Amino acid sequence: DVVDVGVLGQSEFGTRARVQADGTIKLPFLGVLKVTGDTALTLADKVSAQLKAGGYYAKPIVTVDIALFASNYIVVLGEVGTPGLQPVDRTYHLSEVIARAGGIREGGADYVVLTRRDGTPRNLPFDKLARGTEADDPVVQAGDKVFVPASELFYIYGSVNQPGVYGLRAGMTLRMALGRAGGIGANGSDKRIKVYHDGTERKVGLDQPVQPGDVIVIGERLF
């Protein structure tokens, strides 16, 4: 939790403190204070008594407000810049939470899995989040989980300009995959393309979809 602690009329004491894992907070004048089991009222009484006993104030009126409860977090995991807990201190859309977590990494998929507190999952295409409609970029709530999976891959070799391993995007066709690899090389031929899946060749037209794990090999022109 995060607490705001102040003394009425004494601005120099006001502070915001996060409760540490050992159940303590650090306050001006008083230093480290154990707060495990305290409510806002009992903590105010405790701080008031210690300030008075220490001679800091004669009759301190202490205020304690809970600024943020530990349960007010969203879990963001997977291919983001900084996975972990994101505090919910106001209303956030899904795109804002992802941005706060450092955005989607290069190896991330082009969709996000949002699992609500009740366990209901929903896949949301990342390109739609940027458009910002309520349906495509929903408001997230405390207890939700956001997961960005790693992108599924395809492999492309032979007579292409940029052979290698690439992330597979939704709806990607063989023609689009060739474009992703920089196009067919000067000696390559679109008549000599072979696609293998799990070691078996499969027939794929230029405008047909590529599958996860496909290996695409572009052969050279005969003449």
Instruction: Give the integer Cα–Cα distance in Å for 22 and 119.
Output: 31
- β-strand partners of 201: 196
Question: What is the pLDDT averaged over residues 163-183?
Answer: 95
Q: Residues 100-110: pLDDT tens digits?
A: 999 999 889 99
Question: Is 73-148 assigned to CATH 3.10.560.10?
Answer: yes
Question: Is 2-68 assigned to CATH 3.30.1950.10?
Answer: yes
Instruction: Give the integer Cα–Cα distance in Å for 26 and 35.
Output: 10
Residues 6+ apart with CB under 8 A from 212: 152, 153, 154, 168
Q: Which CATH number applies to 153-220?
A: 3.10.560.10
Structural domain boundaries of the chain? Answer: 2-68, 73-148, 153-220
pLDDT exceeds cutoff 90 at 43: yes
Instruction: Give the integer Cα–Cα distance in Å for 82 and 96.
Output: 14
Same fold flag, 2-68 and 73-148: no
Does the pTM of the predicted model rise above 0.75? no
Strands 111-115 and 139-140, bridge-based pairing: unpaired
Of 72-76, 133-137, 150-154, 215-219, least confident by mean pLDDT is 133-137
The pLDDT score that the predictor gives to residue 223 is 67
Percent of the chain predicted with pLDDT > 90 = 71
Q: How confident is the model at residue 180 (pLDDT cuts 50, 70, 90)?
A: very high
